[in-house]
């Protein structure tokens, strides 16, 4: 199973839709994930673009 498929089962849809999985680090007591916010523009932002 690919990492993004695992993330979809762990994180809510809002997170997987708006953030990209970058890396993770596992220790004996925790699992840390690094996420990067996806570029997102609303319709209003597109209208303002030159």
What range defines the domain where residue 7 resides?
3-48
The answer to whether the beta carbons of residues 19 and 37 sit under 8 Å apart is: yes
- Looking at the structure of the chain, the number of domains it has is 1
Look up the pTM and report it: 0.56
What does the block give as tokens for 2? 């690919």
pLDDT, tens digit only, all 50 positions of the chain: 566 677 778 888 888 888 888 888 889 999 888 988 887 766 666 666 55
The answer to whether the beta carbons of residues 35 and 11 sit under 8 Å apart is: no
Alpha carbon 19 to its chain's center: 2
pLDDT attached to residue 13: 85
pLDDT attached to residue 28: 94
């Amino acid at each position: 199973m690919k990492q993004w498929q695992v993330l979809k089962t762990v994180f809510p849809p809002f997170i997987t839709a708006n953030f990209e999985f970058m890396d993770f680090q596992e220790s004996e007591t925790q699992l840390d994930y690094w996420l990067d916010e996806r570029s997102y523009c609303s319709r209003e932002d597109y209208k303002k673009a030159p």
